[in-house]
Structure 1
Amino acid sequence: MEEAAADGVTLELLREARETVQSSPLGVINTPMVPWCRTSLPPRTSCNIHIKLENMQRTGSFKIRGVANQFARRQKGGHFVTMSAGNYGKSFAYASRHYGTKGKVVMPETAPASRSTLIQSFGVEVERVPTSCLMNVVNRCVKEEGMTFLHSYDDLDLIAGHASLGMEILEVVPEPDVVVVCCGGGGLLAGVAAAIKLSGSTGTRIYGVEPEGACTMYRSYIEKKPVGMDTKSVASGLAPPFAGSLPYELCQRYVEQIVLVSDEEIRVAVSTLYRSGLVVEASGAAAFAAIVSGKIPDMEGKNVVCILSGGNIGKDELAHFPD
């Protein structure tokens, strides 16, 4: 079933989704991509790195891209439920308010309370539960309350919407040697990788980055099937309880490798970016952490793209990162 769905991810489908995202009334923007050398980040001379600033995207993260495509293709006026640690939930709530749909976000208890409050401010209900219970609660809402489930990462329309980011990258760097993308459930990684590879950049090496304590896609590669685990990381947005089936299939086709970073490496990355004037959340800084920690092989002399995927971090959270 997943294989057939992966076969259905074509360049034509992704181009159509990009047009939908670009014309969406949700106001998705083509975010800036800047050379590392034009920032105040510590100098790196071994390679040419471009940074894609999705932390400046509408609602503060890349998630609005997939949500724009999902809502455009779903029946308006429905009653939707989803699960999210924050960023998808925020975009989901933003879209729900715009389209006048009812919504509920099931959140892990480990997610910052400030994110629950923000999502509720859009008029969407929030239920906080242990991470292991997320899907049980979603299934209850579907069965007992008649809600429609919108998946936050394992969804064809969502992944196709995220692919718009990959297409934007190619407009600035037509033939990147290396692209580094964070990975939670795998929706962004799958979409970006499919867009780049199907557009003809077959030689580009694409790396996914996961936290050591939430490495579901990494384990899925080892076990050769999507797997789950008890996840825990400072990057709560990269810690869903299982890898997505469709993202796994697409990553198997188009992603070179999944690399792991520690929570401490993520914390240092957030602080380094902040000192340089870039407000990036822990989940959004994972790709950057992998680059500065030397986890990405063979970058010397290469054209590299690093995606900063989100900037939704509050002052209360920043207090837990090193100065």
Structure 2
Amino acid sequence: MGEVSADVVTLDLLIEARETVRCSPLGVINTPMIPWCQTTLPLNIDCNIHIKLENMQRTGSFKIRGVANQIGRQPKGGLFVTMSAGNYGKSFAYALKHFGSKGKVVMPETAPVSRSILIQSFGVEVERVPTSCLMNVVNRCIKEDNMTFLHSYDDLDLIAGHASLGLELLEAMPEPDVVVVCCGGGGLLAGVAAAIKLSGCNKTRIYGVEPEGACTMYKSYIEKKAVGMDTKSIASGLAPPFAGTLPFKLCQLYVEGIVLVSDEEIKEAVSILYSSGLVVEPSGSATIAAIFNSKIPELEGKNIVCILSGGNIGKDELTNFPN
């Protein structure tokens, strides 16, 4: 996408996008936000945590929010291409089928095969390639097949759609002290952070959580520009090869910092959540891993929102986690 200034992301823009998401025929839902004390999850900190259950969202993740705003602004019946490890691709395919459009999802070879099969069930073509080749294949589709590229995280309309989660969160907890959000390319983190800060919650501390082996936003903070790396993590949805340019700009403005969790910590979080009756994929469990392992500073006595971003995990994947 072309360079977009963070200044174009205004509260009016985000409110308009929220209405588009709410009214979308894709059926985006207002997901539950429950107190931690109403679960059987362990907690060794004296604080008030609420969990936002985007794992219960339509198509199983927050991605449908951004897609509802993004594809809703595209001509019907178009031909589209995207790249995704699974969750965006699933929402993308679901939306294309609903609107009668055609498309292709370019997936990294590291993504679970079950997710490729699911996306194909919506009538969308899938091409699996090495992570380093994702953009090369997308560019080929644009040039040779005249497809319109819809970015899975570095896109203004998508980020504005994701911001609906932040605005929705504030309806349940108007002035949170801390909000914890997973971060891959940064689209969700940027959208939620912009929504919260532009709504006037200047004292709210917002943290992104990345896997140690896929910490493109963390490295971007250090280098002061959006950068890429050779990513590898069990949380494939948090492992795109580069951070988004617009997400990075917005995160610089509105996000307190990025914390890192290991794959082992993510695995443990998935297992503990499952044991407590919550089916959450590795990417969606990173925030809980950060809480469990004391990666977020100064939580004592605070009002905290922790977002579980998705629940798309198959039986085949669950066998990789400890009981």
2:131 is aligned with 1:134: no
How far apart are 1:4 and its partner, in Å?
5.0
Relative to 1, partners in 2 of residues 1:150 and 1:4: Cα closer, same or farther, differing over 3 Å? closer
User: C-alpha separation between the residues in 2 aligned to 1:138 and 1:272?
Assistant: 38
How far apart are 1:42 and its partner, in Å?
1.6
User: C-alpha separation between the residues in 2 aligned to 1:45 and 1:217?
Assistant: 27
Q: In the TM superposition, what are the counterparts of 1:1-323 in structure 2 within 5 Å?
A: 4-323=4-323
Question: Residues 135-176 of structure 1, C-alpha deviation per residue, up to 9 Å, x if partnerless?
Answer: 000000001110000000000000000000001110111000
Give the number of aligned pairs: 323
User: C-alpha separation between the residues in 2 aligned to 1:311 and 1:83?
Assistant: 20
The letter for the 2-side match of 1:41 is: L
User: C-alpha separation between the residues in 2 aligned to 1:276 and 1:115?
Assistant: 25
The letter for the 2-side match of 1:227 is: V
- Alignment TM-score, normalising by the size of structure 1: 0.99
The letter for the 1-side match of 2:107 is: M
Q: Secondary structure at the match of 2:128?
A: strand
The letter for the 2-side match of 1:317 is: E
1:2 and 1:249 in contact (8 A); partners too: no
How far apart are 1:5 and its partner, in Å?
2.4
Question: Residues 245-297 of structure 1, C-alpha deviation per residue, up to 9 Å, x if partnerless?
Answer: 00000000000000000000000000000000000000000111101110000
Relative to 1, partners in 2 of residues 1:304 and 1:231: Cα closer, same or farther, differing over 3 Å? same
How far apart are 1:75 and its partner, in Å?
1.1
1:2 and 1:246 in contact (8 A); partners too: no
User: C-alpha separation between the residues in 2 aligned to 1:164 and 1:2?
Assistant: 23
The letter for the 2-side match of 1:42 is: P
User: C-alpha separation between the residues in 2 aligned to 1:3 and 1:49?
Assistant: 37
The letter for the 2-side match of 1:165 is: L
How far apart are 1:73 and its partner, in Å?
0.7
Relative to 1, partners in 2 of residues 1:166 and 1:97: Cα closer, same or farther, differing over 3 Å? same
Q: Secondary structure at the match of 1:162?
A: helix
1:2 and 1:245 in contact (8 A); partners too: no
How far apart are 1:3 and its partner, in Å?
7.5
CA RMSD of aligned residues (A): 1.0
User: C-alpha separation between the residues in 2 aligned to 1:33 and 1:244?
Assistant: 28
Q: Secondary structure at the match of 2:59?
A: helix
User: C-alpha separation between the residues in 2 aligned to 1:165 and 1:298?
Assistant: 24
User: C-alpha separation between the residues in 1 aligned to 2:103 and 2:37?
Assistant: 43
How far apart are 1:43 and its partner, in Å?
4.0
The letter for the 1-side match of 2:265 is: E
User: C-alpha separation between the residues in 2 aligned to 1:250 and 1:288?
Assistant: 23
User: C-alpha separation between the residues in 2 aligned to 1:4 and 1:317?
Assistant: 38
Relative to 1, partners in 2 of residues 1:146 and 1:61: Cα closer, same or farther, differing over 3 Å? same
The letter for the 2-side match of 1:123 is: G
How far apart are 1:114 and its partner, in Å?
0.2
2:45 and 2:299 in contact (8 A); partners too: no
Q: Secondary structure at the match of 1:73?
A: coil
